Amino acid sequence: MSTPRRAALLTLGCARNEVDSEEIAGRLTDSGWELVDADDGADVILVNTCGFVEQAKKDSIDTLLAASDSAQESGAKVVAVGCLAERYGKELADQLPEADAVLGFDAYPDLAERLGDVLGGHAPAAHVPVDRRTLLPISPVERPAASADVAVPGHAWVPNLARTRLTEGPVANLKLASGCDRRCTFCAIPSFRGSFVSRPADDVVAEAAWLGMEGVRELYLVSENSTSYGKDLPGGTRALVRLLPRLTQVPGIDRVRVSYLQPAEMRPDLIEVIASTPGVAPYFDLSFQHAAPTLLRRMRRFGSRADFLDLCARIRALAPEAGIRSNFIVGFPGETDEEFAELEAFLSEARLDAVGLFGYSDEDGTEALSLPDKVPAEVITERLARLSSLVEELMSQRAEERIGTEVEVLVEVAEDEDFECTGRAAHQAPDVDGECVFERGSGLAVGDLVKAVVVGTEGADLVVSAREQVPRSTLARATAGVSGSGG
């Protein structure tokens, strides 16, 4: 019997990219490949790159170069896939000869065959980028049929075939949609991820059921814009309102969390279903980006300090302990002292649980690249430092407000002589927010869901004392079950 070819998969970037890597892994294992670590005799080292901002691009290139150095000793081939490869294609291949191939999203359905060609010394031509928004109809309702002929990473799920889990933890990312129809002046994602395409609700629920059988207790729903989910499906944008309760009925799933919500698209029914549905984390990952209305218009976004404060107030009226987080860009072209002060004031009043700050940088293919009145780099650095200090204090204060409250914590790291037992409460998302640290001697295991009381804080992190374990969900919360029509 012939020895199976071996592939190592390195993933950079966001949770959406992690889903894409698991689809790649599924396609390869279904074609007879074996997944191994990069230093464990891999024939091919696949680097699933990120191409979002300058630092992410640098990290991807550094990873490719490091993989190439490793491959010189082992004889492995190095192949670039993912967003950087899709966005730059042949340009990346020309500037990075260390990569044996640069493949775009359209190569994913036949990836095993393409990698076989690389191993055989017949590497396919480097991907030539196109604006992926041109591959689907402008009208969202016409996209479902057309998308069957367009590669959309993370959508081709078939049980035990087109997805192989690369981690064993109790949390799994689950893709709702891909692409984006918004035209924010700072963002190039739509050009290389394409127009917005929702996954059918029944596919999402079926994959959730498979993940539940794989031991997952929390689903982290990801997309470029979750509030648009369903606009290209029958039933329209209320699809997410209908989908979330269905997902809470999946056996084994105890928590469902939604990421990346657009404030301008937060309808009252969506706020209510996230804030009030048992099994849905009352967690609001809101893409504010700024708070000054004049600057938001230059970003081609909507809202204001008053609008965003009102949204936070409406959320907390329904769920006082809800988690609210957001990201903000500092130093966008033309940002005045007054606009920056408006952002400072909003953050002071909003009492967000978690905040991500990014200094503006020019991005290829964006409208902001040509905007006048660029803010000097030293001013951006000074404003970032000033805002970071403020945010650190505000998040610590918000954490302190939770002392004495009860939280449900999903354990992700078990205690040993080197590590404390840690996990996340409903208001804390993976990787981007704070965590809960259990008192020593809790005796908990990874995957336990525990009711705990907050007894202290460590910055934005909570120190908690375990009270009782929550049994794993084995039955649907409602009689509808996991089947049924989806929007």
pLDDT digits (tens, 9 = 90+) for 226-278: 999 999 998 788 999 999 999 999 999 999 999 999 999 999 999 999 999 99
Instruction: Please report which confidence band the pLDDT of residue 475 belongs to, taking 50, 70 and 90 as the band edges.
Output: low
83 in a labelled binding site: yes
Query: What pLDDT score was predicted for residue 160?
Result: 55
Residue 312 counted as an annotated binding residue: no
Name the percent of the chain lying above pLDDT 70: 95
480 pLDDT higher than 60: no
This prediction has a pTM of 0.93
Structural contact between residues 10 and 60, judged by C-beta atoms closer than 8 angstroms? no
Report the C-alpha gap between 486 and 243 in whole angstroms: 7
Confidence of residue 2 (pLDDT cuts 50, 70, 90): low
Tell me which residue has tokens 């190095």: 78
Q: How confident is the model at residue 481 (pLDDT cuts 50, 70, 90)?
A: very low
**63-67, 150-154, 442-446, 475-479: which has the minimum mean pLDDT?**
475-479
Mean pLDDT of 413-424: 90
pLDDT at 441: 87
Domains in the chain (CATH in brackets) are 6-130 (3.40.50.12160), 147-401 (3.80.30.20), 405-470 (2.40.50.140)
Is 421 flagged in the annotation as binding?
no
Mean pLDDT across the chain: 93
CA atoms 182, 188, 194, 200: torsion sign: negative
CA distance 335 to 332: 6
Dist. CA 392–CA 241, nearest whole Å:
34
Average confidence (pLDDT) over 12-27: 93
Residue 1 pLDDT greater than 80, yes or no = no
